[in-house]
Structure 1
Amino acid sequence: MLLLGIDLGTSSIKVSVVDADTRKVVAATSYPSDTEREIQSPRHGWAEQDPELWWSDVQNGIKAVIDGGGFDPLSIAAIGITYQMHGLVLVDKAGKVLRPSIIWCDGRATEVGGQARKKLSDSYLLTNMLNFPGNFTASKLGWVKAHEPEIYHQSYKMMLPGDFIAFKLSGKITASPSMLSEGVFWDFKKEDISEALLEAMELDRDLLPAVQPVFSDHGRLNEATGEALGLKPGIPITYKAGDQPNNALSLGVLEPGEIATTAGTSGVIYAVTDQRYFDPLSRVNTFAHVNHAKDHRRLGILLCINGTGISNRWIKQMTDPGLSYGQMDQKALATAVGADGLLFLPFGNGAERILCNHYLGAHLENIDFNTHDRAHLYRAVHEGIAFSFRYGLDIMKEGGTQARVVKAGKANMFLNQTFIQAFVNVTGLTLELYNTDGSIGAALGAGIGQGYYDKPATAFEALEKLAVIEPDPALVAQYETIYQQWKSLLDNKLEKNNIIHS
């Protein structure tokens, strides 16, 4: 039996076909393969993408993986979907997309979220919702109602990006507690959609999809789409989850105390807990994990840094677009730890949660025209990203998160030796790298939802550990000194911009 996993990322989609018995990948592809999907920014601080372009990429990715051969597509028995979190998709009754998706790093809705916070007590938001509305999906929907009322009133359903892909495959629109919690629609005390939040934002509950578990039947591949893609009509979509809970799933991170990390366009540390944890300043967030249920509380404490891989991409485009990421890494490694005093703050991709939902902008500090070259820029960017992980991890530790070992798929920034070196030595964490990614996790999630595995952990019994990287005592003190310089720079910028951060 084969399982199909779809990972809708910000820069591309990835499709994997996995053998359910061996858990091995039999075919995989990314689309587009030679470029990265653009983010449209019609105004400063805005970030949008066309959902129909996502759908086109998904179709092309599925066709490409089938055309590559090596398996029988008629043996695919279930489909799983993971996706970039928090994006808002609006469709009318005919299923037509009404506007570009307002994606995760768009900062326009912070004021709407702030207004809702004033109407609702912090006590309710933190103890029931475990988060402030901030810039999440509910606030984005509130922004559309306030600023584009004609679009709001034409809307039949709001969806997250993964819901939209499932809808295009099957015609069915669903959501789950995990998905609704990432949009900050979910009341964890009632284990239901928050009527108080909807009332405060004056949002219509009918716009929200029907709620069902993450691992369940979210629709079946319709005949026309199946025939167009070369797949058997009727295949069930048995799993949908945001990219970060899905990344944790793909690493077998399911139980309290287990921690996953990822460093794609954004960077995340994700710690599983059985407690209704909240950060009083909402600098880190708590969402329902994929295996959360009313009688089996499993929540994910999520630290997010928006400007991770996108910083690396930006510096590449600004200096030498023809250079590979591997070549950038080698140049960075050839320079001294600390980039000869060059410091980088990677906060140029929208409002940052760890900065209390404020936009600071990215900063390069201490540039010396006689000393610094491109290699120093690359190292400073890689180290600055790692330092932002340390900054956020310290916030998580304030809330009691105990971190010693963290798991990651060997992908994206975790292919970068400069970043890995800085990450393990400045955080003090032991890093375990595994042969997995989001599309593989989505495929195995489909197997769980389809009932092929007796429990989620069974799906990951064959997970292959590729490497264990531990802090180097000779480098820990050196990185700590540089980190404190970096943190002092950040604190000064926050103070000058009147941003509360502690």
Structure 2
Amino acid sequence: MYLLGYDIGTSSVKVSLIDSETGICVASASAPDSEAPVKSLRPGWAEQEPGSWWRYIKEATGRIISKAGISPADIKAIGLSYQMHGLVCIDKERNVLRDAIIWCDSRGVGYGEKAAIDLGEKTCLSRLLNLPGNFTATKLAWVKENEPEIFGRIYKVMLPADYIAMLMTGEICTTPSGLSEYMLWDFEENTTAGFLMDYFGYNPDILPEVRPCFSEQGRLSADAAAELGLAQGTPVTYRAGDQPNNAVSLNVFDPGQIASTAGTSGVVYGINGNIAYDPQSRVNNFAHVNHSADAPRIGVMTCINGTGILNAWLRRNIMPEGTGYASMNDLAATIPIGSEGVSILPFGNGAERVLRNRQIGCTTMGVDFNRHDSRHLVRAAQEGIVFSFMYGIEIMKEMGLNVETIHAGNANMFLSSVFRDTLANITSASIKLFDTDGAAGAARAAGIGAGIYADNREAFAALKLISEIQPDPKDFSATLDAYMLWKNRLDSQLINC
């Protein structure tokens, strides 16, 4: 028997096939071959065509079935992970009304700020665990005000995987974890946040039905099965946003456990066993996949939008044509800790929650034309990303979370020794790298939802630890000095914003 997991990301769709008996990933694939486009019609805007996700899913599914050489009938469950906070709007005929407004789009900020003032920050924080900010609910507010004709035709609003699951099964549903990332889950009432729906003037009927993350959420229809080359009736049994799912992929379920990822955006995600929030709402709090009113599991997340996308920008615009990321990592390692005074503030991909939703852009500071070159920029970029992580971790610590061990996949920025060592040294935490990814995690989690596994311990028993990086005491002082310089430069930028 096999389990199939999809990770619907910003740059691609990844798919993994897991042998349910051994827990081993037997095949993986992705599509498209180059990074998927993001439309930015105005500064701070970011959109994608939802239909493109379905095309990539079909392409990746065909590749993995061909690669694995198995019968589709042997796949017993499907799991979905997806880019968080996206807004998909459909009409009664289930046609998409506009391109999806995705996670790094900033146009909802003003609507969230006004809602916090009108409703009261204390009310929002105590019930939503966040200020309304720049989430799905506030992006919908922009549509309501600026595209009233489209808003009036909306039958349902969905997150990216809600839309894909609808195409797969014909059923329209979401999860409590999903609603919490809409900013529409009331943690006091343990139900949909009606007070915020009322404030924005949303009809409750536009929301999908709510089902648990681990549950049957529909079965593949005949049409979808034919398009995907899978078996009709295969159940979809798990759904979660990419960051909760990244934690799931690393078997992070319990209070005190920490997961991190560093793809297009970067995240540190810790599990809190108490209902708590940051009074300034600089970190995000979402219902984790196993959250319940009786046993709270809150994913406390510091998210940096400008992570791998900064590295990609440098590769495209600064490095010689044909330079790969591995070569960039090697170049960064030739420069000492602190990049000889160069600092990069990596905030060029939309409004940053950790900066209270300010959009300050990416800034390079301290460059000396006679001493510095592209190597310094590459190292300063990687250090700047790590330091932005630390800036958020300091807030998480104020909330009572300890960061002693960080679990991460052996991928993306974690392939860089400079990135790994800098993170270990500035946090004084050990970093455990595992052979997994979001698609494999979604597949294993689907096994829980389908009842194939009894719990997460059984589902992730085969998770393979690749390496463990320990902080180096002799490098702590230099790393701290570099961080404090970076932080002082950030503070000077914030004063002027």
**Which structure 1 segments of 5+ residues have no match?**
498-502
Alignment RMSD (CA, Å): 1.0
Q: 2:28 aligns to what? A: 28
Counterpart AA for 1:248: A
Q: Distance in 1 between matches of 2:99 and 2:224?
A: 23
Secondary structure of the structure 2 residue equivalent to 1:346:
strand
- Pair 1:116-2:115 in alignment: yes
Spell out, residue by residue over 1:350-401, the C-alpha distance to the aligned partner (whole angstroms, 9 max, x if none): 1100001111110011112111111111111111101111111111111111
Distance 1:187 1:211 in 2: 13
| Runs of 4+ off more than 4 Å | none
- Alignment identity in percent? 47
In the TM superposition, 1:377-456 aligns within 5 A as 377-456=377-456
Matched residues in 2 for 1:372 and 1:103: separation? 36
* TM-score, normalisation: structure 1: 0.97
d(CA) in 2 for partners of 1:444, 1:206: 32
Q: TM-score, normalised by structure 2?
A: 0.98
2:37 paired residue number: 38
Q: Does 1:126 align with 2:142?
A: no
Is the 1:3–1:444 Cα contact (8 Å) retained in structure 2?
yes
> What are the superposed Cα offsets for residues 409-468 of structure 1, whole Å, 9 maximum, x if unpaired?
111111111111211111211101111110001001110100111122221112111111
Partner of 2:186: 187
Aligned to 2:317: 318
Once residues 302 and 183 of structure 1 are traced to their aligned partners in structure 2, the CA distance between those partners, rounded to angstroms, is: 15
* Equivalent position of 2:471 in the other structure: 471
- 2:433 partner SS: strand
> How far 1:98 sits from its partner (Å)?
0.7
C-alpha contact 1:217 1:239 (8 A) present in aligned 2 = yes
Q: Secondary structure at the match of 1:68?
A: helix
Who is 1:371 aligned against? 371
Q: CA deviation at 1:295?
A: 2.5
Cα displacement (A) at 1:105:
0.6
Query: Does the CA contact (< 8 Å) of 1:3 and 1:76 recur in 2?
Result: yes
**What are the equivalent positions in structure 2 for 1:150-169 lying under 5 Å apart?**
150-169=149-168
Between 318-327 and 231-240, report the one with greater CA deviation. Answer: 318-327
In structure 2, distance between residues paired with 1:286 and 1:69: 38
Report what 1:212 is aligned to.
211
Tell me if the contact between 2:382 and 2:418 (Cα under 8 Å) persists in the aligned partners. yes
2:235 counterpart of 1:273: no
Q: What is the rounded CA distance, in whole Å, between the counterparts of 2:458 and 2:124 in structure 1?
A: 36
Classify the secondary structure of the residue corresponding to 1:345. Answer: strand
Structure 1 residues 299-346: Cα deviation after superposition (integer angstroms, max 9, x where no partner): 111111110111111111112342111011011111222222111000
> Which residue number corresponds to residue 263 of structure 2?
264
In structure 2, the residue corresponding to 1:423 is in which secondary structure? helix
Name the residue aligned to 2:247. 248
Amino acid at match of 1:227: A
Letter in 1 for 2:449: G
How many pairs align? 496
Q: Which residue in 1 is equivalent to 2:172?
A: 173
Residue 484 of structure 1 pairs with residue 484 of structure 2: yes
Residue identity opposite 2:98 in structure 1: R
- Other structure's SS at 2:329 match: helix
* Counterpart contact for 2:173–2:211, Cα < 8 Å: yes
Q: Distance in 2 between matches of 1:195 and 1:69?
A: 46
Aligned to 1:334: 334
Tell me the residue number matched to 2:93.
94
Q: Tell me the distance in 1 between the aligned counterparts of 2:292 and 2:69.
A: 38
Match of 2:494 in 1: 494
The 2-side partners of 1:319 and 1:123 are apart by 45
CA positional deviation for 1:134: 0.3
> 1:27–1:70: 8 Å Cα contact kept in structure 2?
no
Q: Secondary structure at the match of 1:466?
A: strand
The letter of the residue matching 1:393 is I
1:307 maps to a residue whose letter is: G
Deviation at 1:228, TM superposition (A): 2.5
> Is the Cα contact below 8 Å between 2:90 and 2:96 reproduced in 1?
yes
The runs of 5 or more residues in structure 2 that have no matched partner are none
In 2, Cα distance between the equivalents of 1:332 and 1:273?
Answer: 35
Aligned to 1:500: none
